[in-house]
């Protein structure tokens, strides 16, 4: 790779950083659960790479406003939409608002999710259903609400946030593991359905990431988890966001139906 250089008034030659065009210039994406955590990092990264983003939130009005204020200076780049994707009509409204504001839709990133960890013998039916409804049915609704728009234009990207819990199972997470395993099956099936329309569908399966969820871990539990991760640390939302950017870019046009694990080696056993 060649490097541009500039000369100063003396004989010293200093490197000049090469400038690359944004990967997602003028693209439009929806990010569910985009007001905080992994979703918030994804929104910021996509905007940094030239995209315009509509993100959903349910309760985080203050964070939503802060995110929009941070990015919306000369023009509207980020739109916060209050929508509960457990409700199909909310998901449909989300797509309508995004297209009305930005004029099109290039893809969907499903980040919304919750945990309600508890051993099965103590888990209430409502705790099972809440996690399934949010993590799995929520993605079904978002995909269903978006898919016709993407199919009509014969191109698009869908990325679903799963988890290593859906691959290897984690004690005390029967509901969460079931929902995240379901996402993997849905991702692979949908990828086959919409491939003829130029749409790719992939999943990310992160391990322990530094978010509000993991910050709630007790110190002894956190230490125990860290001891099981070969890289010896939790991942960051920014690391996942950068990979999401790649999967949304033209460089990933031939990748579909895949599950990408980012867990510091946790699932190696």
42, part of any domain: yes
φ/ψ of residue 156, rounded to 5: 155, 170
196, part of any domain: yes
Specify the pLDDT at position 60: 78
Specify the pLDDT at position 64: 87
What's the average model confidence in pLDDT over 63-71?
A: 87
Residue, of 146 and 6, whose pLDDT is higher: 146
> With 90 as the cut, is the pLDDT of residue 229 above it?
yes
Neighbours of 83 (CB within 10 A): 26
Angle subtended at Cα 158 by Cα 156 and Cα 161, rounded to the nearest 5 degrees: 165
> With 50 as the cut, is the pLDDT of residue 8 above it?
no
232, part of any domain: yes
* Average pLDDT of the chain, as a whole number: 91
* pLDDT, tens digit (0-9, with 9 covering 90-100), for 93-120: 999 999 999 999 999 999 999 999 999 9
267, part of any domain: no
Strands (E) in the chain, as ranges, are: 5-7, 13-15, 28-32, 52-57, 78-82, 107-110, 156-161, 199-206, 259-262
128, part of any domain: yes
Q: What is the DSSP string of 213-225?
A: HHHTS-HHHHHHH
Residue, of 212 and 41, whose pLDDT is higher: 41
235, part of any domain: yes
Distances (CA, A) of 27 to 54, 122, 138, 190: 11, 46, 23, 22
213, part of any domain: yes
Specify the pLDDT at position 6: 35
Total domains in the chain come to 1
Looking up tokens 């929520």 gives 138
Given 20, 57, 176, 208, the catalytic residue: 176
Specify the pLDDT at position 15: 52
Q: pLDDT band for position 266 (50/70/90)?
A: very high
For residue 199, the domain's CATH number is 3.40.50.720
Which two tokens mark 213?
């969820």
What's the average model confidence in pLDDT over 45-70?
A: 91
> With 60 as the cut, is the pLDDT of residue 14 above it?
no
Specify the pLDDT at position 16: 54
Strand, coil or helix: 159: strand
What proportion of the chain, given as a percentage, has pLDDT over 70? 93
Range of the domain at 59: 22-261
What's the average model confidence in pLDDT over 134-146?
A: 98
What proportion of the chain, given as a percentage, has pLDDT over 90? 77
Per the annotation, the verdict on 197 as an active-site residue is no
8, part of any domain: no
Specify the pLDDT at position 117: 93
Specify the pLDDT at position 194: 98
């Amino acid at each position: 790779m060649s490097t541009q250089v500039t000369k100063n008034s003396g004989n010293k030659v200093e490197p000049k950083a090469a400038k690359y065009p944004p990967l997602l210039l003028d693209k439009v994406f929806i990010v569910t659960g985009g007001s905080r955590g992994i979703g918030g990092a994804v929104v910021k990264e996509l905007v940094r790479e030239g995209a315009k983003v509509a993100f959903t939130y349910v309760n985080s009005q203050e964070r939503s406003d802060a995110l929009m204020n941070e990015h919306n200076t000369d023009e509207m780049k980020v739109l916060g939409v209050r929508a509960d994707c457990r409700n199909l009509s909310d998901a449909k409204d989300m797509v309508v608002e995004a297209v009305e504001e930005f004029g099109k839709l290039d893809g969907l990133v499903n980040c919304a999710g919750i945990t309600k960890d508890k051993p099965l013998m103590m888990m209430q039916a409502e705790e099972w259903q809440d996690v399934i409804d949010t993590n799995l049915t929520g993605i079904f609704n978002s995909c269903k609400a978006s898919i016709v728009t993407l199919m009509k234009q014969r191109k698009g990207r869908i990325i679903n946030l799963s988890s290593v819990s859906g691959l290897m199972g984690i004690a005390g997470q029967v509901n969460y593991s079931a929902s995240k395993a379901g996402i993997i099956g849905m991702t692979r099936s949908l990828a086959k359905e919409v491939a003829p329309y130029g749409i790719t569908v992939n999943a990310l399966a992160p391990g322990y990431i530094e978010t509000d969820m993991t910050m709630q871990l007790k110190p002894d539990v956190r230490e125990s988890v860290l001891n099981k991760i070969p890289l010896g640390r939790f991942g960051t939302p920014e690391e996942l966001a950068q990979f999401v950017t790649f999967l949304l870019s033209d460089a990933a046009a031939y990748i579909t139906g895949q599950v990408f694990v980012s867990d510091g080696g946790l699932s190696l056993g």
